[in-house]
């Protein structure tokens, strides 16, 4: 056993359940060690217990796992469960923690952030329920990281990350397992694999899945090709690469060009899907049809009785605050409750644990359910395949039928990336200061009904979270939400969200930007972005 002295460091952003930084920052001496030791200090239940570790395969994954094994043994972990090749998708890790009774897991990923030696790396800590660390645990880890004086290592011979089997390191058992099989078994229990298999093998249906050279490739191959009989040619970019092939593993219209080209070239009976770096998010598209994640959540909710994993119906649903209110309408029709939470999956986890909901989602392409405690990209794609197979309707017809029943919630998100952090913080401060005088005023002709900072009290554990995004509600029913991203690693990212419900199908239009033009103009007048952060156009429009 070796004890290395070390000094406090301000690595983790307070209030976040993990650490996300440039690879070069992680490669500094003691940096990763400090954070992982802070986790062991803050979560004493890990000693003597099982710990899961795996990542999305990005650069530095293997080196980090080798070091984490030494730290785990040095801190008395009894058993380390590692995905073969060091690979585990975020949802698969969450499931594994739950299935194997682990006390927690370390997921090595910076999700959608680019990888490679010049890209980003990250470590997330999930607790015994498989969910991202709660606000309280995150705060305890942060506090431990500012008070750290040393870390403990057990040095031993390295173990073979690519070979399934058991080995030992200073009394700790290391088990390298097949991370894909358990997850595929879990999916087989959630869906009607016979019906989906028939759909995927039929000549009239075309399916494409883009793994974006990130973690979901091996999972997609096992599930779609080996178990469901789809042709191997339905998979795009299915080999995990340390730099994601130089791409940006973010499933959105800006970054999934290859997928969009394939699906748009197919007929109405086609579905395309993509996942992000660590496999927790999803995008689904039809031919010439973008299904926004808020609508996707609502459509899954409306079709829940068709999905075995949702137990024949819904207990309750939840969405993050900036997500459109499309799912609220489905909940109202079914007489169940819809919870509105701050952005981030940990807020859904307590509602799932408490049995209040069994379906939830975010506008940022995250959808999930009660089967584990993370958002789950492949699960959402399987929902769509199952719904199409059960209803024998094309994606287009399913979406149109939904809008005809519930009306349509137009939604868009505008991201301004790489802003000067001080300028962005000053902007948010100025906006907050102007909230009181906004209510009752008009912006670009639109009457403001209310303007507030969103706060949330967890109905299960009573924890209070404030400052979760500024929300303006207008008299015509539209909303604008402003918040700063918590996941970027360079400068600040400002996210603006807009939504508006349209009940008259005759007034539907194909372009959400046009449908939301009035509320976009109103918030532009308020934000004055050109003046405050020197930008007039967003970098990414979803
Ligand atoms: C973004 C999304 C948020 C999501 C988070 C983690 O956060 O907006 O909805 O939960 O990423 O997703 P932010 O703070 O940048 O807006 V991921 O795929 O990192 O696991
Ligand atoms: Co992710």
Sheet holding 172-177, edge to edge: 18-22, 120-127, 104-108, 50-55, 79-87, 172-177, 165-169
Task: Give dist(CA 471, CA 462) in Å, integer.
Answer: 22
Q: Is the pLDDT of residue 28 over 80?
A: yes
166 class by beta-carbon count within 10 Å (0-12 exposed, 13-18 middle, 19+ buried):
exposed
Q: Is the pLDDT of residue 14 over 60?
A: no
* Residue in 251, 414, 487 to alter for ligand 1 test, most ligand atoms within 8 A of Cβ: 487
Look-up: residue for tokens 């952005």?
A: 343
Higher-confidence residue of 480 and 147: namely 480
Q: What is the pLDDT of residue 5?
A: 66
| Cβ proximity of 124 and 107 under 8 Å | yes
What's 461's DSSP letter? T
| Cβ proximity of 69 and 174 under 8 Å | yes
Would you say the CB of residue 126 lies under 6 angstroms from ligand 1?
A: no
DSSP per-residue codes, 121-154 = EEEEEEETTSSBPPHHHHHHHHHHHTS--EEEE-
For the CA of 366, the nearest ligand? 1
Q: Is the pLDDT of residue 136 over 90?
A: no
pLDDT 10s digits, 325-383: 999 999 999 999 999 999 989 899 999 999 999 999 999 999 999 999 999 999 999 99
Q: Is the pLDDT of residue 484 over 90?
A: yes
Q: Is the pLDDT of residue 394 over 90?
A: yes
Q: Please give the radius of gyration of the chain, using alpha carbons only, rounded to the nearest integer.
A: 23
Task: Give dist(CA 497, CA 427) in Å, integer.
Answer: 16
pLDDT 10s digits, 369-387: 999 999 999 999 999 999 9
Q: Which domains does the chain have, with CATH numbers?
A: 2-177 (3.40.120.10), 182-406 (3.40.120.10), 408-541 (3.30.310.50)
In 3D space, the residue among 431, 444, 454, 514 whose CA is nearest the CA of residue 475 turns out to be 444
145: confidence class by pLDDT, cuts 50, 70, 90: confident
17: confidence class by pLDDT, cuts 50, 70, 90: low
Arithmetic mean of pLDDT, 402-422: 94
The two three-digit tokens of residue 349, written as one number: 């986890």
* Residue in 277, 343, 363, 376 to alter for ligand 1 test, most ligand atoms within 8 A of Cβ: 343
What's 305's DSSP letter? G
Arithmetic mean of pLDDT, 441-460: 91
Q: Is the pLDDT of residue 255 over 80?
A: no
Q: Is the pLDDT of residue 489 over 80?
A: no
Tell me the average pLDDT of the chain. 91
Arithmetic mean of pLDDT, 469-494: 90
Can 111 be counted among the known catalytic residues? yes
Higher-confidence residue of 146 and 104: namely 104
Q: Is the pLDDT of residue 462 over 90?
A: no
Q: How far is CA 136 from the centre of its chain?
A: 20
Task: Give dist(CA 77, CA 164) in Å, integer.
Answer: 20
Q: What is the pLDDT of residue 486?
A: 80
Report the half-sphere exposure of 284 (CA within 13 A, side-chain side): 30
- Helix/strand/coil for 71: helix
């Amino acid at each position: 056993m070796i004890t290395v002295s070390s000094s406090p460091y301000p690595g983790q952003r307070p209030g976040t359940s993990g650490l996300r930084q440039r690879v070069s920052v992680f490669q500094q001496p003691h940096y990763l060690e400090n954070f992982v030791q802070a986790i062991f200090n803050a979560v004493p239940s890990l000693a003597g217990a099982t710990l899961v570790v795996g990542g999305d395969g990005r650069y530095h994954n293997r080196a980090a796992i080798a070091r984490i094994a030494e730290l785990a043994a040095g801190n008395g972990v009894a058993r380390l469960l590692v995905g073969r090749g060091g690979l585990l998708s975020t949802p698969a890790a969450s499931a594994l923690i739950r299935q194997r009774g682990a006390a927690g897991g370390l997921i090595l990923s910076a999700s959608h952030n680019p990888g490679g030696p010049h890209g980003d790396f990250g470590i997330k800590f999930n607790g015994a329920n498989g969910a991202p660390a709660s606000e309280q645990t995150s705060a305890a880890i942060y506090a431990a990281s500012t008070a750290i004086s040393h870390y403990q290592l057990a040095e031993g011979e390295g173990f073979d990350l690519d070979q399934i089997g058991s080995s030992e390191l200073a009394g700790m058992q290391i088990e390298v397992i097949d991370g894909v099989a358990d997850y595929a078994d879990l999916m087989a229990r959630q869906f009607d694999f016979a019906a989906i298999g028939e759909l995927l093998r039929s000549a009239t249906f075309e399916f494409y899945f883009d793994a974006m050279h990130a973690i979901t490739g091996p999972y997609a191959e096992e599930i779609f090709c080996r178990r469901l009989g789809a042709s191997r040619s339905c998979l795009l970019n299915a080999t995990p690469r340390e730099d994601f092939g130089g791409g940006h593993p973010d499933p959105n219209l800006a970054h999934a060009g290859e997928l969009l080209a394939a699906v748009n070239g197919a007929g109405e009976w086609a579905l395309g899907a993509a996942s992000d770096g660590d496999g927790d998010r999803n995008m689904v598209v039809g031919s010439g049809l973008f299904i926004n994640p808020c609508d996707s959540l609502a459509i899954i909710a409306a079709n829940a009785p068709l999905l075995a994993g949702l137990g024949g119906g819904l207990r309750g649903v939840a969405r993050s605050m900036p997500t459109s209110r499309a799912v609220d309408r489905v909940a109202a029709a079914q007489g169940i409750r819809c919870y509105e939470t701050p952005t981030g999956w940990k807020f859904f986890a307590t509602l799932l644990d408490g049995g209040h909901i069994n379906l939830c989602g975010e506008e940022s392409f995250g959808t999930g359910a009660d089967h584990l405690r993370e958002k789950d990209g492949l699960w959402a794609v399987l929902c769509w395949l199952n719904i199409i197979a059960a209803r024998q309707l094309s994606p287009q017809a399913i979406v149109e039928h939904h809008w005809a029943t519930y009306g349509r919630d137009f939604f868009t998100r505008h991201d301004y990336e790489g802003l000067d952090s001080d300028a962005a913080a000053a902007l948010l401060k100025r906006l907050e200061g102007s909230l009181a005088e906004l209510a009752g005023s008009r912006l670009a002709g639109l009457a403001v009904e209310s303007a507030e900072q969103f706060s949330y009290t967890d109905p299960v554990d009573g924890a209070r979270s404030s400052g979760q995004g500024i929300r303006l509600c207008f008299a015509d029913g539209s909303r604008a939400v402003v918040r700063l991203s918590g996941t970027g690693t360079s400068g600040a990212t400002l996210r603006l969200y807009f939504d508006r419900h349209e009940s008259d199908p005759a007034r539907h239009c194909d372009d959400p930007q046009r449908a939301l033009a009035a509320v976009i103009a109103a918030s532009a007048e308020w934000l004055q972005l050109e003046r405050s952060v020197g930008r007039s156009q967003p970098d990414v429009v979803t």
